[in-house]
Structure 1
Amino acid sequence: MSNQITLENIDNVLKFSTLFSSQDCHLYDIQTEPLTLEPYAYSQEFKRFIDAIYAENFIIPFDWISWQQEANRFEANPELINLADISTIQKLFTSHVRQERFCSGRLAQLINNGHFLTILQRLQAIRADFILENTEKSQPKNIMQRIKIIQGDITQLQVDATVNAANSSLLGGGGVDGAIHRAAGRELLVECRQLGGCETGEAKITKGYNLPAKWVIHTVGPVWEGGNQNEDVLLANCYANSLALAVQYQIKTIAFPAISTGVYSFPMERACKIAVTTVTKFLENPNSLEQVIFVCFGQSAYNSYTQAMREVAET
Structure 2
Amino acid sequence: MASPDQQYQDLCARILDRGDERIDRTGVGTRSVFGELVRFDLSQGQVPILTTKRVYWKTAVREMLWFLTGGTNIRDLLVNGVTIWSDWPLAHYRKTTGETITQAAFEARIVADADFAAAWGELGPVYGRQWRRWVDNAGRAHDQIATLIDTLRSNPTSRRMLFHAWNVGELDQMALPPCHMVYQFHVDGRGRLNCLLYQRSCDLFLGASFNWTGASALLLMIAQQAGLTPGELVWVGGDVHIYLNHLDQVREQIARVPRPVPTMRLARHPASIDDYAIEDFVVEGYDPHPPIRGDVAV
TM over 0.5: no
Between Structure 1 and Structure 2, the one with more strand by share is 2
Using the size of structure 1 for normalisation, the TM-score is 0.27
Using the size of structure 2 for normalisation, the TM-score is 0.28
